[in-house]
Structure 1
Amino acid sequence: MKLGQRLLVFYFLILGVVSWFVLDLVFGQAKPLVRQSAEETLVDAANLLAEIVAEDAESGEIVITSSLRQALNRYAGRTPDADIWGLKKDRIHTHIYITGPTGTVLFDSRGKDEGEDFSRWNDVHLTLQGRYGARTTRTDPEDPSTSVMYVAAPIRHSGSLIGVISLGKPGRAIEPFVQRAERHLLLYGGAALFGCLLLGGLLAWWLSRRVNRLRGYAEAVANDERPAPPAFRGNDEIRALADAVTAMRRRLEERARLEDNVSLLTHEMKSPLAAIRGAGEILQDEIRDPSLIRFTDNVIHESQRLSDLLDRLLAMARLEKLESLPDRKRRVSISPLVEEWQRSRYSLLAEKQLDVSVAGSDLHAEADTLKLALFNLLDNALRFASARTTLGVQVEGNALSVTNIGPAIPDYALARVTERFYSLPAPGHDKSSGLGLAMVNEIATLHGGSLTLVNTDNGVRATLTIPQH
């Protein structure tokens, strides 16, 4: 799935969940809010009618006069023909009944319950006790839509409670307002949701378009094309990423050019150096003058040094081109590698009368690069070792250590000895290429490990650590 699609789906899921919770909450509150509003209106009307009824009271008793009865009946039969925010109201739905102090119905606007005992109903029962009385009752217990909300108000005369007047509003009269509120909520909520989805889609398209431009630029660079860097407006993370990719491209191009030039130079120089060395060896066999022999020896020696330097440069270039090691790590025995190195450096070891000791068995690593690292560590130890001492090679866990007895590394150089072309003078030796420890450090990095050099009491210990995955 593409990035823009993932963003849109993720945005849609979040928006959908939030919208569901919000709409569920609002719909859950729509009906109660409308009922609360209707109840508040009924409370006002009930108290107004209670005062009107109290005006006709005599001797502390409610009197339902003919004029009051007629007025209330006329009220129940009115046709309001009202347009309430688009809803037509063409009849009075309010049910009115008046009870005496014992809860007996004295007046019923429907003319059905006069003389009945309503003292058990909460609206009448609670009001007679001096509390707020209200109830909701279904005319058909099996049909929720037949519920009627009743609100009562006390009728007082000279401060005494002489009866109760109750007003009832059927749920069916309130339902159209609830339904309209829910329709409006659905309409406006749906419009808001659609607008948010549209904005989310535009945002996902905008981000995907910018990312695709950056991806196209990176793919063109990977295909050795030379595209112009993408120009992005604004100062956001994608523009910063584009600038970083452009900077990386330029650095990599500079590095590739340098590596190509080094490789070309080393390959082109190897043949002339071989010819110079061959010529020097031929001259050495023919010349008998001691002063000329010294010059031919120097030609052979320096051409060999240059050849070794070129070999190291090529090896370093190959290592730096690797992004990771090939997946062929195995257990590598160290002793045979040390013996092979001793045979190749026999004359140098004999000249200094050096011994080599090996402790430990094997190490889990890539064999070719481990061999190159070990040989360079041993060459470096040999170069600085004092005569008639021992070079120590030790494998312990996932670490390979090479120790020599000789001069310590100065403090100022400890952090730099693994840099390319940085070398320290060794007594009795020519200046080195400064690539040996740099190659070991590169090999350690490719293995995901590290190279550390520390001074010991009488020499230096170099430790190559390779994590065992």
Structure 2
Amino acid sequence: MKLGQRLLLFYFLILGLLGWFVLDMVFSQAKPLVRQSAEETLVDAANLLAEMVAVDAQNGAIVITPQLREALQRYAARTPDADIWGMKKGGIHTHVYITGPDGRVLFDSKGRDEGQDFSQWNDVYLTLQGSYGARTTRSDPADPSTSVMYVAAPIRDAGSLIGVISLGKAGRSIEPFIERAERRLMLYGSGVLLFCLVLGGLLVWWLSRRVNRLQGYAQAVAAGERVSPPAFRGRDEIHALADAVTAMRRKLEDRSRLEDNVTLLTHEMKSPLAAIRGAGEILADEIDDPALERFTDNVVHESLRLSDLLDRLLAMAQLEKLESLPAQKQVVDVASLAGQWQDSRYALLQEKGVSVSVSGEGIHAEPDTLKLALFNLLDNALRFAEPGSVLRVEVSGKGMRVSNQGPPIPDYALARVTERFYSLPAAGEEKSSGLGLAMVQEIANLHDGTLKVENTADGVAVTLHL
């Protein structure tokens, strides 16, 4: 799945969950809010009618006069034909009944419950107790749409409670307002959701377009094409990433150019050096003058040293070009590699009287790069080793430690000995190329390992952890 599709899906999921949560919360509150509004209106109307009924009270008792009865009946029969925000109201849906202080119905606008005892209904019972009385009752317990909300108000005469008037509003009369509110909420919510989705799609398209331009530029750079970096408006992360890719391209080009020049130079110099060495060896066999012999020996020696330097430069350039190990890792016998090194350095070991001690078993690594690392570590240890001392190679787990007996590394140089072309002088030795530990550091990086150089009590130890 592309980045833009993932962003759009993630954005849509968040927006959908948020929209569902908000709409669900609003829908769950819509019906109670409408009912609360209707209840508040009923409270006002009940108290108004209670005062009107109290006007006709005589001797502390409610009197339902013919005029009051006729007025309430005419009220129930009215057809207001009202247009309430687009909703037509063609009749009165409020049920009115009046009870005495004992809870018996004195008047019923529907004319069916007069004489009934309503003292146990919450609206009447609580009002007679001096509290706010209200109830909701279903005419059919199994049908929620038959519920009726009743709100009562006390009727008082000279401060004494002489009865209760209760107003009921059928749920069916409120339901159209609730349904209209829910429809509008759904319509507006869907519109907002659609608008946000379109806006999110445009945002994702804009981001994807910028990322695709940057991707095309990076692919062109990887293919070796000389292309101009994409121009982005605004200083954002993508613009900064494009600048970083451009800077990386230039650095890689400079590095690649340098590596190619080094490789070309070393290859071009190997043949002349071989010719110089060969000529020096022939001259050494043909002349008897001691001064000339020293001269020819110096020519041969320096040509050998330059040839070794070129080999190291080539090896270093090849290591730096590697992005991963050239072959699979396997268990490599370090003792066998140390034996090969001893064979190749036999004359130098004999000259210094230095021996090699290897302890431990094999190590899991890439064979060729591990061999190169071990040879460089032993060469470096031999160069600074005291005559007659022992070079120790200790293998444990995923690492190996090469140590010698000799002078310690100065504190100022400890952090720099792995830099390219940085070397320290050794007694009786020529200046080295300064590439040995740098190559070992590159090999450690290829193995996702570490290289640690430290002074010991009697010399120097280098630990390669793979």
If the TM-score is normalised by the length of the shorter chain, which range does it land in? over 0.9
Between Structure 1 and Structure 2, how many residues are aligned?
466
Deviation at 1:397, TM superposition (A): 2.5
**Cα deviations across residues 343-374 of structure 1 (Å, max 9, x unaligned)?**
11111111111111111121111111111000
Corresponding residue for 2:128? 128
Could you say what the CA RMSD is over the residues aligned between the two structures, in angstroms? Answer: 1.0
Aligned partners of 1:421 and 1:41: how far apart in 2? 94
Answer yes or no: is 1:229 the counterpart of 2:196: no
Answer yes or no: is 1:406 the counterpart of 2:403: no
Aligned partners of 1:326 and 1:122: how far apart in 2? 89
Aligned partners of 2:62 and 2:457: how far apart in 1? 117
Deviation at 1:386, TM superposition (A): 1.5
The normalised TM-score by structure 2 is 0.98
Deviation at 1:240, TM superposition (A): 1.5
Structure 1, 175-184 or 135-144: larger mean CA deviation: 135-144
Task: Decide whether aligned partners of structure 1 residues 265 and 35 sit closer, same or farther in structure 2, where only a CA change above 3 A counts.
Answer: same
Q: Which amino acid aligns with 1:197?
A: L
**Aligned to 2:388, what secondary structure does the other structure show?**
coil
Corresponding residue for 2:9? 9
Q: Which amino acid aligns with 1:391?
A: L
Q: Which amino acid aligns with 2:336?
A: P
Q: Counterparts of 1:33-72 in structure 2 under 5 Å?
A: 33-72=33-72
Corresponding residue for 2:422? 422
Aligned partners of 2:112 and 2:453: how far apart in 1? 107
Deviation at 1:116, TM superposition (A): 1.3
Aligned partners of 1:362 and 1:54: how far apart in 2? 109
Aligned partners of 2:392 and 2:141: how far apart in 1? 99
**Aligned to 2:234, what secondary structure does the other structure show?**
coil
Answer yes or no: is 1:449 the counterpart of 2:449: yes
Task: Decide whether aligned partners of structure 1 residues 192 and 350 sit closer, same or farther in structure 2, where only a CA change above 3 A counts.
Answer: same
Task: Decide whether aligned partners of structure 1 residues 144 and 450 sit closer, same or farther in structure 2, where only a CA change above 3 A counts.
Answer: same
Q: Counterparts of 1:349-364 in structure 2 under 5 Å?
A: 349-364=349-364
Corresponding residue for 2:239? 239
Deviation at 1:327, TM superposition (A): 5.1
Deviation at 1:396, TM superposition (A): 2.3
Corresponding residue for 1:375? 375
Aligned partners of 1:101 and 1:459: how far apart in 2? 112
Deviation at 1:67, TM superposition (A): 0.8
Corresponding residue for 1:434? 434
**Percent same amino acid at aligned positions?**
75
Aligned partners of 1:320 and 1:415: how far apart in 2? 20
Corresponding residue for 1:142? 142
Aligned partners of 2:119 and 2:390: how far apart in 1? 114
Aligned partners of 2:402 and 2:84: how far apart in 1? 96
Q: Counterparts of 1:317-396 in structure 2 under 5 Å?
A: 317-326=317-326, 328-396=328-396
Q: Counterparts of 1:63-142 in structure 2 under 5 Å?
A: 63-142=63-142
**Cα deviations across residues 41-78 of structure 1 (Å, max 9, x unaligned)?**
00000000000000000001100111111111111111
**Aligned to 1:434, what secondary structure does the other structure show?**
coil
Aligned partners of 1:219 and 1:397: how far apart in 2? 41
The normalised TM-score by structure 1 is 0.98
Q: Which amino acid aligns with 2:37?
A: S
Corresponding residue for 2:262? 262
Answer yes or no: is 1:289 the counterpart of 2:289: yes
